[in-house]
Structure 1
């Protein structure tokens, strides 16, 4: 938000000698963050008022003129200019040598220097408004039009900032730092704050007499919970004319574009008091104003031409037949100030913050008014806005008449009251404070204080009673910031050194991430908690089982994830634009709607979703079985690195996104905790996964059992050497390696078994596969002879053959 220091000084006399650096520092340390302070006079340095004495054609350029200009120096300056509206006796803005301007309002700023233009020396520049940053305040009506200042009472050589009344400082305030301070969203509120900081007197807004008639206007508030107060001034005999330069200048300085005098007055009231106001054409309103919720099917065209389809959630200002404005956000195009308007109804109302915020977000209409209402402006402030409005109307339109005034206030504001103990303040602030000191500080801020023993009953003013002040800690903050945080003595914190706590669950999560990233060469990704419906459908997740967002970031991202698989699919699809082989994983929360009541809820009726940590990953490449074996190996050896119970595998129920050929469920103990599968062609097509294959896994981390420590056991090295041999056995496609391995390990003298490879092709027949594996054998009694090794091999083949019907390949 932009603030004009001159505007603030209308309401408070700041200390003499106060520098902008000091003011910015004090305001930042006590109240809000001042991002920047811009001195307008400094930005117009080197620019003066000049009076054109003569205008002559340039001897060598048809579009240039040679001017002699009185710039306050002893001798006139010769300036070559291409302006189309140059005339003798005209007052203009002159950039003297050394000034900084933008040529034709474009490009980087340049310094003006004496230069020869087509053979004629020029000692300065006669400026157009956009060349010196004043294009919005002095809009040009044609190309190459210079800035005409003849209407101003200025003298040649006078600094331009002084002549235009722009010797002002603009403070840029960070909006986030004042989100909870609706009283500061106006110059009068900020002046009140500065008056408290520097212990100065705030000038009151003069109250003006109001008529005791309603001017033939009836106001009905049908939704008082959405509109606690509505004031309307009926004003006759106004004109839709341009505003005086001073008013235009005030609005321009704070970033608002001047429009016309009636509209500029409403904007001035908003920037002055913080209360957004709006003016309706009296002839379009009729006999009554209705503040009501919109009806289904109603439409409204806004001032900017946007056509809205309204719903009952939207609050509107209506006459007897139709909506005229979207309450607190923007007026309607057909019923606001028009070129022929002579009588108006000036709305000075108060609207509930949450309703304005929801309508503004849903309809995607953001305005200066909605930005203020959604902060929670107090209804009492309407009195200041009404008084200032009457004063400005009478000054701007001397022939106008305040023909009526209506003030409906069905829900009066109750001032916030907080009880706080002196001991509480002393203990939390770390310094001694008397009741008198606390009362003095709070009184400067407009608080009323009743002292009873060691307790203070604090009543907040209306402008601080809309949610800002509600707790003893809020009073503590007010005392601390007005005392000055830099004035508190440093108290070192108490540090207690305790034993480290072994958090198995935290360690498990970190170990999983390190294992996958460092040892498995996988890249960790981070995705949004909401998921695109396209990938939800591709994963076969039912939308009705997911949590819906009340205000989704996009229409197609309306649900919170209940599985990480859709997000992993999207990541695979996105990364396939750049890579063909990669490995990714994500460990984060998923959300379920199971009417789960959190044990840490702050109220009995608070309903929170159930959250659980899941781990998902994808192996992407061209070899389906190689990817599947790699992913399965990562999960099978995970327990060694992460210090947890080992995982096992079984086929119980195929995941919706899995391929019929390669899938398995992941189990821990006897419970299924996840899935591992090749992404099916149908799901891959729906997710946009092309030209590569993907094997995906997902497990429920909450079901993993972390072990307190590794259980190491000492085992002697074999006393006699082991021998190994390889076998290749042909099986049916349905035979699983895990079953073959289990049988082989139980054979006599077998010490270890390791899978080597699989083969499918014409040599083994249709529906068959050749499995190659290595077997290590040995004895604790001596070295095995070749005959003993041969015997073990034959017995093993026979045992496997009886169980699975396998034949030794090549036998």
Structure 2
């Protein structure tokens, strides 16, 4: 939300020498997060008001003119311009050299410099509104139009920021930080908060009384959905431009001025936080009814979108049907038209949850719905009414109120909370006197009654719609007004009754550190939903996958049940920039299977698990290299992360994998994951064009950390050990697991062989058909002495003989 500091000053007197950084900091620390505080005038640096004194035809271009422009101080400058509406005597916006603009309102910002245009020297630029970011405030009537400042009676040379009242500070507030503070969704609410922080007086918006007798009626058929509806019928109005000050403030708050009738409603909403809406009274048949929509009823909105309504929607209707979607958007039928002369002003309060459901159902979110769905208080309607009538009276002196209804069916009850002051002191960690506590709360509108150690607090109406409801809320109010920075840290003691060494949580952290630091992989974070393209390509079956009722996009409806589709999408995005990379992700996956909540046995949730997935992408043609990299990462993972080792088997091929290059991952007798090469078909369907991709995914909930008592000390070898490489020919279908089992299995080939490691595999012209050469590295040594070369050769010979006997292997000679 954007706020104008000059607008806030209408309600609270902020000293001119107030440090802006301090104001933003104090607001952030006590109330809401101020993301940015922009000095608006800086957007218009080096921009001034100029007056066109004379216009001459450009000698080398039919569509260009050479304007002699008074830029103040008696200086006349030549500026080449092609504006369609330039004329002598016109006040214009001039960007001098050094100003930043966007050519024709498009593209990246550029710095204006002196230049020759078709051979004529030009000083700066005469600008259109879109070129200096004012397109919404001064809409173009035609494409080549420049900004006409004739309505601003200022001398040439006046800084543009001064002429257009842009010497303001725009505070940008993070909307998430005030989700539970509906009272802050307007300039007046923030002004009230600033007044409370600094103990400054707040200007009240005085309510008004309207007493008009007429046949005008408003019926509320759903009092649980609409607690209050004020309708004001007025004549003697018309469609015209609102005053510049009103337009300027609406624009500063991020909205677009339209016309006086609409601008008043938007201005009041931005000021008070209570949305208002104006109907064309001549288009309302009979009287207004607030009611649930009939099933299948049609409504065309102001944006021309046609909705088919359901019974859960709340509508504003007349005798002919719906004329507006309550709390969200008005209908096209009743909109303000160029010939509007009578209006009905709506100032209402709608139930938050229903508004939120409707906005989600139709994906229609407006400034009004954003406020209603936060649960604003119905008492605020009085402020909105008073301010609306003020501006209607000022802008339309001939206006007459011909009908008035204030239908307040559900009176708001202020929240009452009892607080134990002993409890409060213990929670705050600080003793505060009764007067201090009362002072902090009363300046925020709370009524306080203290009797001994008990305090009874009554929240103001603007904090009684769910924001303030328990004693902890009162504690927070006191703490933030005292200032979190003003509390001193105190030591505390506690006791732990259970083991705090959470090995399962530490294991996940260890795995991520292993993949990132030791294996050099990059961690990625993806959304919890999956794109249909990758679901169909990788998973190929959507049984058991959850779907979102309101997906962020039509093709993002599935909730992830596997990390692999999103990892494949990440490969596609990174393929444009890198030829070789490896990524991993640890995240929750969800399944459409009932799971009882551990916190509430009556609550059934989708099943959730933690998975760890990875993708190894490379442009190498030999996929064996990629396979060994991925398998090596998995093989060494248990050792470096201190968990039970898993093994690889070939039992069930994953649907996404190559026909040959794949393995299942087992922990004991249970399959906990898969690894494999992404098949060519799946790669093409995903859009992976030039890279081979190895994937693996593990069910992290099945991994078992080792208890510390199983660790044992092994002494470093006292005698030297020797690495001895042998290359032997094996059948082409021989596996390393089988070779290793012969050498290092239960019956070791030689007691002197301490380990065997795979080095390389080769198939080529020198190798007979149906065979392959495997290079094996033996680690040979003794715990009792230093071995002689003959003993080392003998141990290697024993291994080769056993491999020859068991696997028909023979020593490679070429």
Q: TM-score range by the shorter chain?
A: 0.7 to 0.9
Instruction: Give the superposition deviation at 1:629.
Output: 4.7
Asked if 1 retains the 8 angstrom alpha-carbon contact of 2:294 and 2:311, the reply is: yes
CA deviation string 1:115-138 (max 9, x = no partner) = xx9999x9x999987899877656
Asked if 2 retains the 8 angstrom alpha-carbon contact of 1:5 and 1:168, the reply is: no
Alignment map for 1:604-623 (pairs within 5 Å):
605=603, 607=605, 609-618=607-616, 620=618, 621-623=620-622
Alignment map for 1:238-387 (pairs within 5 Å):
238-294=237-293, 298-308=297-307, 310=309, 314-361=313-360, 363-387=362-386
User: SS state of the match for residue 228, structure 1?
Assistant: strand
The answer as to 2:559 corresponding to 1:553 is no
CA distance in structure 2 between the aligned counterparts of 1:167 and 1:278, rounded to whole angstroms: 28
May I ask how many residue pairs the two structures share in their alignment?
Answer: 784
Which residue does 1:597 correspond to in 2? 596
CA deviation string 1:542-576 (max 9, x = no partner) = 42312333443332222332222323333444444
Alignment map for 1:71-110 (pairs within 5 Å):
none
The answer as to 2:748 corresponding to 1:742 is no
Q: Alpha carbons of 1:628 and 1:326: their partners in 2 closer, same or farther (altered >3 Å)? A: same
Asked if 1 retains the 8 angstrom alpha-carbon contact of 2:728 and 2:809, the reply is: no
Alignment map for 1:95-494 (pairs within 5 Å):
147=148, 149=150, 166=165, 169-176=168-175, 177-211=177-211, 213=213, 215-222=215-222, 224-294=223-293, 298-308=297-307, 310=309, 314-361=313-360, 363-485=362-484, 488=486, 490-493=488-491
User: SS state of the match for residue 458, structure 1?
Assistant: strand
CA distance in structure 1 between the aligned counterparts of 2:530 and 2:289, rounded to whole angstroms: 42
Instruction: Give the superposition deviation at 1:350.
Output: 1.5
Q: Alpha carbons of 1:16 and 1:672: their partners in 2 closer, same or farther (altered >3 Å)? A: closer
User: SS state of the match for residue 463, structure 1?
Assistant: helix
Instruction: Give the superposition deviation at 1:463.
Output: 0.7
User: SS state of the match for residue 303, structure 1?
Assistant: coil
CA deviation string 1:292-341 (max 9, x = no partner) = 45556555443344455555554433333343223323222332111121
User: SS state of the match for residue 596, structure 1?
Assistant: strand
Q: Alpha carbons of 1:605 and 1:414: their partners in 2 closer, same or farther (altered >3 Å)? A: farther
Larger radius of gyration: 1
CA distance in structure 2 between the aligned counterparts of 1:192 and 1:159, rounded to whole angstroms: 35
Asked if 2 retains the 8 angstrom alpha-carbon contact of 1:291 and 1:317, the reply is: yes
CA distance in structure 1 between the aligned counterparts of 2:224 and 2:408, rounded to whole angstroms: 11
Q: CA RMSD in A?
A: 5.1
CA deviation string 1:66-103 (max 9, x = no partner) = 7999x8x9xx8878788967678x9x689999998979
User: SS state of the match for residue 277, structure 2?
Assistant: strand
CA distance in structure 2 between the aligned counterparts of 1:489 and 1:426, rounded to whole angstroms: 12
Asked if 2 retains the 8 angstrom alpha-carbon contact of 1:546 and 1:559, the reply is: yes
User: SS state of the match for residue 656, structure 1?
Assistant: coil
Instruction: Give the superposition deviation at 1:438.
Output: 1.9
User: SS state of the match for residue 450, structure 1?
Assistant: strand
Which residue does 2:711 correspond to in 1? 710
CA distance in structure 2 between the aligned counterparts of 1:41 and 1:610, rounded to whole angstroms: 51
Q: Alpha carbons of 1:42 and 1:541: their partners in 2 closer, same or farther (altered >3 Å)? A: closer
Asked if 1 retains the 8 angstrom alpha-carbon contact of 2:93 and 2:147, the reply is: no
Instruction: Give the superposition deviation at 1:381.
Output: 1.0
CA distance in structure 1 between the aligned counterparts of 2:403 and 2:530, rounded to whole angstroms: 55
Q: Alpha carbons of 1:765 and 1:310: their partners in 2 closer, same or farther (altered >3 Å)? A: farther
Instruction: Give the superposition deviation at 1:269.
Output: 1.7
CA distance in structure 2 between the aligned counterparts of 1:42 and 1:692, rounded to whole angstroms: 46
Q: Alpha carbons of 1:648 and 1:276: their partners in 2 closer, same or farther (altered >3 Å)? A: same
CA distance in structure 2 between the aligned counterparts of 1:19 and 1:723, rounded to whole angstroms: 75
Asked if 1 retains the 8 angstrom alpha-carbon contact of 2:49 and 2:163, the reply is: no
Q: TM-score, length-normalised on structure 2?
A: 0.79
Q: Alpha carbons of 1:85 and 1:426: their partners in 2 closer, same or farther (altered >3 Å)? A: same
CA distance in structure 2 between the aligned counterparts of 1:739 and 1:764, rounded to whole angstroms: 21
Q: Alpha carbons of 1:538 and 1:139: their partners in 2 closer, same or farther (altered >3 Å)? A: closer
CA distance in structure 2 between the aligned counterparts of 1:339 and 1:216, rounded to whole angstroms: 24
Q: Alpha carbons of 1:65 and 1:460: their partners in 2 closer, same or farther (altered >3 Å)? A: same
Which residue does 1:796 correspond to in 2? 802
The answer as to 2:736 corresponding to 1:728 is no
CA deviation string 1:778-799 (max 9, x = no partner) = 9999988999889967973685
User: SS state of the match for residue 267, structure 1?
Assistant: helix
Asked if 2 retains the 8 angstrom alpha-carbon contact of 1:627 and 1:695, the reply is: yes
Q: Alpha carbons of 1:138 and 1:645: their partners in 2 closer, same or farther (altered >3 Å)? A: closer
Higher mean C-alpha displacement, 452-461 vs 31-40: 31-40
Asked if 1 retains the 8 angstrom alpha-carbon contact of 2:800 and 2:810, the reply is: no
Q: Alpha carbons of 1:673 and 1:794: their partners in 2 closer, same or farther (altered >3 Å)? A: closer
Higher mean C-alpha displacement, 718-727 vs 662-671: 718-727
CA distance in structure 2 between the aligned counterparts of 1:360 and 1:774, rounded to whole angstroms: 66
Instruction: Give the superposition deviation at 1:345.
Output: 1.4
CA distance in structure 1 between the aligned counterparts of 2:155 and 2:536, rounded to whole angstroms: 74
Higher mean C-alpha displacement, 97-106 vs 643-652: 97-106
Q: Alpha carbons of 1:750 and 1:56: their partners in 2 closer, same or farther (altered >3 Å)? A: closer
Asked if 2 retains the 8 angstrom alpha-carbon contact of 1:14 and 1:198, the reply is: no
Higher mean C-alpha displacement, 469-478 vs 454-463: 469-478
CA distance in structure 2 between the aligned counterparts of 1:791 and 1:245, rounded to whole angstroms: 97
Higher mean C-alpha displacement, 270-279 vs 769-778: 769-778
Q: Alpha carbons of 1:41 and 1:509: their partners in 2 closer, same or farther (altered >3 Å)? A: closer
Q: TM-score, length-normalised on structure 1?
A: 0.79
CA distance in structure 2 between the aligned counterparts of 1:778 and 1:250, rounded to whole angstroms: 85
Higher mean C-alpha displacement, 373-382 vs 720-729: 720-729
User: SS state of the match for residue 548, structure 2?
Assistant: coil
Instruction: Give the superposition deviation at 1:418.
Output: 1.9
CA deviation string 1:502-525 (max 9, x = no partner) = 554344334434544555555544
Alignment map for 1:18-37 (pairs within 5 Å):
27-28=27-28, 30-33=30-33, 35-36=36-37
CA distance in structure 1 between the aligned counterparts of 2:634 and 2:75, rounded to whole angstroms: 85
CA distance in structure 2 between the aligned counterparts of 1:95 and 1:628, rounded to whole angstroms: 64
CA distance in structure 1 between the aligned counterparts of 2:427 and 2:791, rounded to whole angstroms: 84
Instruction: Give the superposition deviation at 1:263.
Output: 1.6
Which residue does 2:674 correspond to in 1? 675
The answer as to 2:534 corresponding to 1:528 is no
Q: Alpha carbons of 1:40 and 1:584: their partners in 2 closer, same or farther (altered >3 Å)? A: closer
CA distance in structure 1 between the aligned counterparts of 2:634 and 2:47, rounded to whole angstroms: 73
CA distance in structure 1 between the aligned counterparts of 2:379 and 2:728, rounded to whole angstroms: 91
Gap regions ≥5 residues in structure 2 = none
Instruction: Give the superposition deviation at 1:660.
Output: 3.8
CA distance in structure 1 between the aligned counterparts of 2:688 and 2:57, rounded to whole angstroms: 71
CA distance in structure 1 between the aligned counterparts of 2:439 and 2:340, rounded to whole angstroms: 50
Q: Alpha carbons of 1:711 and 1:701: their partners in 2 closer, same or farther (altered >3 Å)? A: farther
CA distance in structure 2 between the aligned counterparts of 1:743 and 1:96, rounded to whole angstroms: 83
Instruction: Give the superposition deviation at 1:281.
Output: 1.2
Gap regions ≥5 residues in structure 1 = none
Higher mean C-alpha displacement, 721-730 vs 624-633: 721-730
